[in-house]
Each structure stands twice: as C-alpha cells, then as structure tokens.
C-alpha cells in the first residue's frame, strides 16, 4: 500500500513536472504499464506518457498549477487543481479546472484520469 505522504509527494512532483515541462519527471512517476487518460485520449506505458508530455510542453508557456485539494483513500487519490497556461504560437491564455483520479501501486502511479472543465471562468 502506498502511504498518504508518498501520494501527496507524487502529486506535488507531477505538478512541478507539468509546470517545468519535464516529461521524464512526469513519466517516471508511473508504473511501467501506467495509464494517462484525458478526455478522448489515452496513453499507456512510461514511453508513451513521456512522448505526449514532451510533445505538449514546447507549445505552452507560463504553465501554472494550483492544487485546491487532495483526497486520499487507500491507494487512490482525487486531486482538484486549477491549470493556467499560454499557447506559445498564439498567446492565447487557457484556464481549466481539473479533477484527477490517481491510482497507485507500490508508490507509483498506475492510472491518472483527468476530468477537465475549460468553460468555468478563471
């Protein structure tokens, strides 16, 4: 079982990896066959997760993530966070409210499932 402190640390590391565009740091938080799921898309395995983050990161600047709450129950956590970024090509600012369900196995993320709301004003 993954301890609550380990879960909180992994979520904080994921937050920093996104904000710094660090694909390796994000992918390394996952089990070898871990899943990363966002609306309409799914990637499985550390290499696939690393690749999607590496592709995403150069297109956005000023990524800011504020964690509102983390709820932990056993090997599962639910995270609410607010995401803001700027699209590099257009300068368009994005604001999203995310709810993320994160499953853990032996201290690593086995599944990360995001529910994203981009319609709520920032």
Q: What pLDDT is attached to residue 119?
A: 75
Q: What pLDDT is attached to residue 89?
A: 96
List all residues 6 or more positions away from 113 whose beta carbon is below 8 Å from its beta carbon: 35, 37, 100, 101, 102
Cβ(50)–Cβ(26) below 8 Å: yes
Q: What pLDDT is attached to residue 45?
A: 99
Q: What pLDDT is attached to residue 120?
A: 66
Question: Is 4-117 a CATH 3.10.450.50 domain?
Answer: yes
Q: What pLDDT is attached to residue 122?
A: 58
pLDDT tens, N- to C-terminus, the chain (122 residues): 889 999 999 999 999 999 999 999 999 999 999 999 999 999 999 999 999 999 999 999 999 999 999 999 999 999 999 999 999 999 999 999 999 999 999 999 999 999 998 776 65
How distant is the alpha carbon of residue 92 from its chain centre?
A: 21
- Domain regions of the chain by residue span: 4-117
């Amino acid at each position: 079982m993954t301890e609550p402190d380990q879960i909180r640390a992994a979520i904080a590391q994921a937050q920093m990896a996104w904000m710094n565009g660090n694909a390796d740091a994000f992918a390394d938080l996952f089990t070898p066959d871990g899943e990363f799921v966002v609306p309409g898309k799914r990637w499985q395995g550390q290499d696939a997760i690393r690749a999607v983050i590496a592709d995403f990161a150069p297109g956005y600047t000023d990524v800011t993530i504020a964690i509102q709450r983390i709820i932990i129950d056993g090997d599962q956590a639910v995270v609410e966070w607010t995401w803001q970024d700027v699209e590099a090509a257009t300068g368009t600012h994005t604001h999203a409210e995310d709810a993320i369900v994160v499953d853990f196995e032996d201290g690593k993320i086995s599944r990360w499932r995001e529910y994203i709301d981009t319609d709520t004003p920032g």
